[in-house]
Homo-oligomer: A and B are copies of this chain.
Amino acid sequence: MKKQPNNKHQYAVILAGGSGTRLWPISREMYPKQLLALTGNKTLIQETFSRIEKIVPKENIYIVTNKQFSIDILLQLKSTGFSHEQLIIEIAQKNTAPAIALASEVIYEKDKDALMLVCPADHLIANDLEFKKSVVGAFARATDGKLITFGIAPDSPSTEYGYIKPKGKINYSTPTSVECFVEKPPKDIAEEYVKKGYLWNAGIFVWSVKTFRSEIKKYLPEVLQALSFMHTDEKKFIKCFSSLSPVSIDTGILEKSKNVEVIRVKFAWKDIGSWKSLYELLEKNEEGNVLNEHALIIDCENSLVYGNSRRATVAIGVCDIVVVDTEDAVLVVHKEETHKIKNAYAELKERNMAQYKEHKTVMRPWGSYTVLEEGVGYKVKKIVVNPHEKLSLQLHHRRSEHWVIIRGTATVTVGEDTRFYGAHQTVDVPVETKHRLENSTSEILEIIEVQSGSYLGEDDIVRFDDMYERNI
């Protein structure tokens, strides 16, 4: 289908700042759900981007996120041509209303007649064409000064979603006024809601930036006030934005505004809020089990067992259990108790265990590293450098580094000397010595690094030159 010429005022904002803990240990604070491939080969943010670029011009898609995730998002969307100028960095996490208002201001400055779609990065949507139809319909309605929300006809009385009560009966084709929004209900209330024809609140919205701006001005003037300093006084902007009270778009605007309408949409939609809902979504075998190739199970029923390629993951004789084994953590939880993961997560954080925060393999703009072992005075890492990438020119005050090349060819600078090193060769980098590791080939480079010294924190690094513009 040819792109319609009239979509140049159509924009999209993908919300990708959430740090989901509910799918721990697969999601981590520094690498949450939107960056993971849960149901296919693409990550959720890749799926979301690909769905939206079929509707609005690619360069009109913005992503709101924080600094940490931005590098990973750029990496994951590299092949789409997504540019870092389309990233909107939240300087503080203030829930959805300030985040969306920030994006709206960025778009408003560019195009006063903009219409915007707001969409979370981490939801599953089954039918891209139906999604497109709904969005196109909503864009048309939004020009009339309406705030359009997307309502999903429930297939179960879920307690994991908020609900929207339409005014009167609703059919698929006509946007309808909203009587009220309700928070995640308990089971019995949810059943009542479903009977009464309430819809799930998908957290997907469409409006014109003009309309949205005037609603923000009316209901959250302090947010618009903070944003007014964005380009005139950075310090003041940071101060004001950081001191805003967190508020969701539902509570802050939608529950108050008189201009809200809901469209009942046709596409299947899920927000994977727990291991239980992921289990329900995925294909099961005859015994009701979901498992990957690395899991070994005997006489289990209605369970999800995810093993890890480097480990033996064995489950025997269990029912309704979720087992998720990763390189550095294992979760065993009853399917009906998955909401308690947040408590375990808080406890891991309290104990200052790395497992709440990062994966064992940490993604970097140039590749990745995995800590294989650490102890008093030493740390062992496997480092993967992607083709044509290089680490920053750097030095460490308190550690020496010893590299063994195990695959590919490294271009190594130590002091003033730059050389090539191939497999089986070794390099010693003394303390206080400038050095750089580079892969100038088109093959993967892998090295084993043994750090040794009195202090081995990642913060003992002085960067002199960094192609990824990280702190120098």
Contact with A298, one of B323, B344, B353, B375 (Cβ below 8 angstroms): B344
Chain B residues with Cβ under 8 A from A347's Cβ? 296, 298
Q: Is the CB of A316 within 8 A of B329?
A: no
Q: A312-B353, A341-B316 are in contact. Are A376 and B321 (CB under 8 A)?
A: no
In contact, A334 and B312 (Cβ under 8 angstroms):
no
By a CB distance below 8 angstroms, the chain B residues around A312 are: 25, 328-330, 348, 353, 355-356
The answer to whether A331 and B344 have CB atoms under 8 Å apart is no
Q: A321-B321, A344-B316 are in contact. Are A424 and B448 (CB under 8 A)?
A: no
- Cα A448 to Cα B377 in complex, Å, equals 12
Flag whether A404 is at the interface (Cβ < 8 A): yes
Q: Closest CB-CB distance, A25 to chain B, in whole Å? A: 7
CB-CB under 8 A from A343, the residues of chain B are 298, 316
Cβ distance A98 to chain B, nearest Cβ, rounded Å: 33
CA distance A323 to B321 in the complex (A): 12
A356 to B314, CA, bound (A): 12
Q: Are B450 and A404 in contact (CB under 8 A)?
A: yes
Check if A423 is an interface residue, CB within 8 A of chain B. yes
- Number of copies of chain A assembled together: 2
Contact digits for A312-325, partner B, Cβ 8 Å, 1 yes 0 no: 11111110010101
How distant is the Cα of A329 from the Cα of B314 in the complex, in angstroms?
8
CA distance A317 to B353 in the complex (A): 22
Name the B residues within 8 Å of A318 (CB-CB). 321, 332-334
Select one of B321, B330, B355, B378 contacting A330, CB under 8 A: B330
**Bound: A400/B355 CA distance, A:** 34
A378 cross-chain contacts in B, Cβ below 8 A: 404, 406-407, 446, 448
Residues of B within 8 A of A25 (CB): 312, 314
Question: Considering the complex, which residues of chain A in the window 416-443 have a beta carbon less than 8 Å from any beta carbon of chain B?
Answer: 423-424, 426, 428
Other-chain residue from B311, B313, B344, B372 in contact with A296 (beta carbon distance below 8 A): B344
**CA of A459 to CA of B118, assembled, Å:** 61
Asked whether any CB of chain B lies closer than 8 Å to the CB of A380, the reply is yes
Q: Is the CB of A340 within 8 A of B316?
A: yes
Q: Which of A341-367 contact B (CB under 8 A)?
A: 341, 343-344, 347-348, 351, 353, 355-356
CA distance A298 to B296 in the complex (A): 25
For the complex, is A452 an interface residue (Cβ under 8 Å from B)?
Answer: yes
Please, what's the 1-or-0 string for A295-312, where 1 marks a CB less than 8 Å from any CB in chain B?
010110000010000111
Shortest beta-carbon distance from A456 to chain B in Å: 11
In the assembled complex, A157 has its CB within 8 A of some CB on chain B = no
Q: Mark A363-394, 1 if CB is under 8 A from B, else 0.
A: 00000001011011110101000000000000
Is A59's CB within 8 Å of the partner chain B? no
Query: Can you list 8 A-B pairs, Cβ within 8 angstroms, ordered by A?
Result: A298-B343, A311-B355, A312-B330, A316-B341, A317-B334, A370-B373, A380-B380, A406-B452
Q: A296-B348, A314-B348, A318-B332 are in contact. List 15 more A-B contacts (CB 8 A).
A: A296-B347, A298-B343, A311-B330, A316-B332, A316-B337, A316-B340, A323-B332, A325-B330, A375-B406, A377-B423, A380-B448, A402-B402, A402-B426, A406-B450, A423-B452
